[in-house]
Amino acid sequence: MEATDQNTESFVSFGEDGALLTYGSYLRLADLLDAQHLESDPPAHDELLFITIHQVYELWFKQLLHEAESVRDALMATDAASGGRDLWFARHLLTRIHVIERVLVQQVDVLETMTPQDFLEFRQRLAPASGFQSVQFRELEFLSGAKDATYVDRFKGITDVENARLARRLEEPSLWDGFVHVLGQAGLDTSSDEAITASVRTAAHDRSSYADLWGLAEALLQHDELAAAWRGRHVVMVERMIGGKGGTGGSSGADYLRSRLAMKYYPLLWDLRSAL
């Protein structure tokens, strides 16, 4: 009874009596809601929407990086003796990644409530800022497996800390490296791309023995597909907003974005479809 009374008293902290933490202080709302500063003068009505959407994207990118790192770490830690637990956790977080990525695609609908005319009211104020400069977006590509060191040299105006983050992503294991590690731990050959393809084909044709591996392969492919869906949705939105105009950061705009549509994080998993 004494222990029960003590536990009951401890729950007082869930009320407002202590006033140690509030909704606003926990979420740092004063800072968060003061982070939208318009560049247009007089203020363009839709600039707040533009800023808010892109800040929300960056918050989601932060969450995706958090989840993808955890997936990668779970895969790299998996060994032949205790693989099941780690693979369950990895697939669980990949499912969360898929849901967030669908939200990223749907957010474009909100941005498209802005007309091209309204965007032009403040677009000239954005140069040379550009979505190309999103360090977190590039980190996510690197961490997923699409590592391209040339992007580090092409970034302009980012901090030393951001440069260091990109360099670290290029050096550290990716989600693909984690998947290959798991294949090897299952006793499958990972000595070459051809061997990896053959190993995944083995898992595909013996799903009762390799259910976790095949499920993981499909989850990675889903991540890849949803990233492609976002790129496709984004380029169409850009064409709708600015047509063939160049990007504010100096790129060719929609033409550059279209050149990225064919990129795949896991080409071997896609090629496997032809070999099943």
Mean pLDDT to the nearest integer, 201-229: 96
pLDDT of residue 106: 96
Mean pLDDT to the nearest integer, 165-182: 96
Would you state the structure tokens that stand for residue 40, as one six-digit string?
Answer: 């247009």
pLDDT(81) > 70: no
Average pLDDT, the chain: 87
Backbone φ and ψ for 129, nearest 5 degrees, come out as: -65, 145
Domain ranges of the chain: 45-274
pLDDT(15) > 80: no
Q: Quick one: which H or E segment has residue 23?
A: helix 23-26
pLDDT(20) > 80: no
User: DSSP secondary-structure letter at 249?
Assistant: T
Task: Give the closest residue to 65 by CA, choosing from 26, 106, 34, 96.
Answer: 96
**Which of the four pLDDT bands, split at 50, 70 and 90, describes residue 123?**
confident
How far apart, in whole angstroms, are the C-alpha atoms of residue 69 and residue 143?
Answer: 8
Is the overall model pTM greater than 0.85, yes or no?
Answer: yes
Q: What is the largest CA-CA distance in the chain?
A: 74
CATH fold of 45-274, please?
Methane Monooxygenase Hydroxylase; Chain G, domain 1 (1.20.58)
The pLDDT tens digits for 179-192 are 999 999 999 999 99
